[in-house]
Amino acid sequence: MKKIIGFLKLIRPINCLMMALAVFIGEIIVAGLNLPLDKSFFAMMTAFFLTGAAMVLNDIVDYNVDLINEPQRPLPSGVVKIPEAKYYYILLSILGVASAFFVNILAFMIAILYWFLSALYDLKLKKTGLLGNIVVSASVAIPFIYGGLAISMAINVLLLFFFTVAFLANTGREITKGIVDIEGDKVKDYKTVAIRYGPKNAALLATLFYLTAVILSPFPYIIGIANIPYLIVVSVADILFVYLTIRLLKDPTRMTARFVKNRVLIAMLLALISFLIIPFF
């Protein structure tokens, strides 16, 4: 049972579910509730499995870093062995790409591109700092576009808005993670914003990304695409983002950055829920 839980923790199931939800949101934005259930299911499974694969590869690559930063994780704690994790990564990758095959050719190509970018990030671009943050955030935001293309081979202004806001918020979170991981990242000579310019400047840059996302959030309501229910839920997410940025700016330490990094996921989930509300009102 302990090993099963370890394998589950490796894929960060909340992250996987959020990515699958983002795909579903992209689907219903372009097609409403008249979804082809088979394509919808396989598109969501693509996001779930490939996100899980990316999480596993990240922990394999960061094994030595996590011995310092996150010793309680499945790999550094010894609950899951490195060879087991490698086979797990291969299985998840195959399931993710195979799921995309049952959607359409464009979805299949995007899935392969996503898999390639996530591997490139873990193996090479993570060391570059901000460039790596940008690449991984684009990968996190692409499920909205993927969902639209999976169902109707089309995207619209709302999907581009979702992509932009998710990209901004996640880039802020990636920079915040750099503050959390600063000691271990030094061991592998990562050029994160926190290492190159210090935690205080990293907190300032993360805040810029968070608050830009907050400023843009009323856009669907302003142009008449969304109404009051969306505005109410997204405002709750915005308030949480603002609160967390204030905490980070006041105390850009590893402990506070960890608190912010974890709570930002809640704000991002609330934002996803607000996006999901739009087609129903």
Q: What is the pLDDT of residues 170-200, one digit of tens each?
A: 999 999 999 998 988 887 788 999 999 999 9
- The more confidently predicted of residues 12 and 64 is 12
* pLDDT attached to residue 47: 96
Two structure tokens written together for 116: 């390639």
Instruction: Please report the sign of the dihedral spanned by the C-alpha atoms of residue 25, residue 28, residue 33, residue 35.
Output: negative
Lowest-pLDDT range of 38-42, 51-55, 189-193, 201-205: 189-193
**Which residues, in sequence order, are CB contacts of 264 under 8 Å at separation 6+?**
169, 172, 173, 176, 210, 241, 244
In the chain the domains, ranked by start, together with CATH numbers, are 1-155 (1.10.357.140), 156-281 (1.20.120)
Q: Is the pLDDT assigned to residue 144 strictly greater than 90?
A: yes
Alpha-carbon radius of gyration of the chain = 18
Instruction: State percent of the chain over pLDDT 90.
Output: 75
3-state secondary structure of 252: coil
Mean pLDDT of 212-240: 95
Q: Read off the pTM.
A: 0.89
Tracing tokens 């999907």 back to the chain, one arrives at: 159
Q: Supply the pLDDT for residue 33.
A: 79
**Which one of 88-92, 115-119, 156-160 scores highest in mean pLDDT?**
88-92
> CA dist 82 to 60, 67, 188, 206, 278, Å?
7, 13, 18, 32, 43
Contacts of 238 (CB under 8 A, 6+ apart): 214, 217
64-82 residue pLDDT tens: 888 888 889 999 999 999 9
Amino acid letter, 136: V
Instruction: Assess whether pLDDT exceeds 90 at residue 122.
Output: no
Asked whether the predicted pLDDT for residue 281 surpasses 80, the reply is: no
CB atoms within 10 A of CB 263: 15
Q: What is the largest CA-CA distance in the chain?
A: 53
Q: Report the pLDDT value the prediction gives residue 141, as an integer from 0 to 100.
A: 93
pLDDT score recorded for residue 187: 79
